């Protein structure tokens, strides 16, 4: 099963190595991971999308919560969260199909961030369904390279 976990961690050396180690110990595969700053300079937020046995992921969550450096762990699959991902895609540009390509960008509200002689690079932010939709629509044109940020998320509402 695929689940997304968000952890607030104190900025101490080795936090990420410890977390990655926990995932490995339970044979959970990390599909994506985003670690970045928060509103508090001493705290980072790590959002990981992992694939593994349900019981194993529960065990990982409990182990992470028990670590001194981890302040809080949320299971984003179980709660109400706004989740977003950023993707950069460099796609081949065939003059005969440029208009069509631009239409795809428009539908997905993808913005052009770079252009070469044979390729065009766009960025798009959205939930995972939209990111996968864009990739799916661009595949027939020829994707030259692609970079995804991994999911980030905040709780819905005021909390």
Give the binding site for a copy of itself (CB under 8 A): 11, 13-14, 16-17, 20-21, 23-24, 27, 29-39, 45, 47, 82, 84-86, 88, 90, 113-114, 116-119, 121, 123, 125, 143-150, 152-159
Rounded least distance, CB 118 to a copy of itself, Å: 5
Strand partners, 126: 85
**Identity of the residue, 21 or 100, whose beta carbon is nearer to a copy of itself in the bound complex:** 21
**Identity of the residue, 20 or 137, whose beta carbon is nearer to a copy of itself in the bound complex:** 20
Q: Counting beta carbons within 10 angstroms of the beta carbon of residue 22, is it exposed (0 to 12), middle (13 to 18) or buried (19 or more)?
A: middle
**Identity of the residue, 104 or 121, whose beta carbon is nearer to a copy of itself in the bound complex:** 121
Rounded least distance, CB 17 to a copy of itself, Å: 4
Q: How many CB atoms lie within 10 A of CB 131?
A: 21
Is residue 36 within 8 Å of residue 43, measured between CB atoms?
no
Rounded least distance, CB 76 to a copy of itself, Å: 11
Rounded least distance, CB 95 to a copy of itself, Å: 14
Distance from C-alpha of 64 to C-alpha of 81, rounded to nearest angstrom = 20
Rounded least distance, CB 77 to a copy of itself, Å: 17
**Identity of the residue, 54 or 117, whose beta carbon is nearer to a copy of itself in the bound complex:** 117
Is residue 144 within 8 Å of residue 90, measured between CB atoms?
yes
User: Residues 79, 132, 19, 55: what is their CA dihedral angle, to the nearest 10 degrees?
Assistant: 60
Containing H/E element for 104?
helix 98-107
């Amino acid at each position: 099963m695929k689940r997304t976990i968000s952890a607030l961690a104190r900025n101490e050396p080795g936090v990420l190595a410890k977390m990655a180690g926990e995932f490995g110990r339970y044979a959970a595969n990390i599909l994506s991971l985003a670690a970045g700053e928060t509103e508090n300079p001493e705290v980072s937020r790590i959002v990981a999308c992992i694939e593994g046995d349900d019981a194993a992921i529960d065990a990982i969550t409990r182990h992470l919560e028990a670590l001194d450096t981890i302040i809080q762990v949320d299971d984003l699959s179980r709660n109400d969260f706004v989740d977003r991902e950023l993707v950069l895609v460099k796609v081949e540009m065939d003059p005969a199909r440029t208009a069509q390509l631009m239409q795809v960008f428009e539908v997905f509200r993808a913005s052009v961030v770079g252009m070469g002689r044979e390729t065009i690079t766009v960025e798009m932010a959205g939930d995972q369904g939209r990111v996968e939709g864009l990739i799916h629509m661009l595949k027939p044109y020829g994707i030259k390279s692609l970079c995804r940020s991994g999911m980030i998320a905040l709780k819905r509402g005021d909390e």
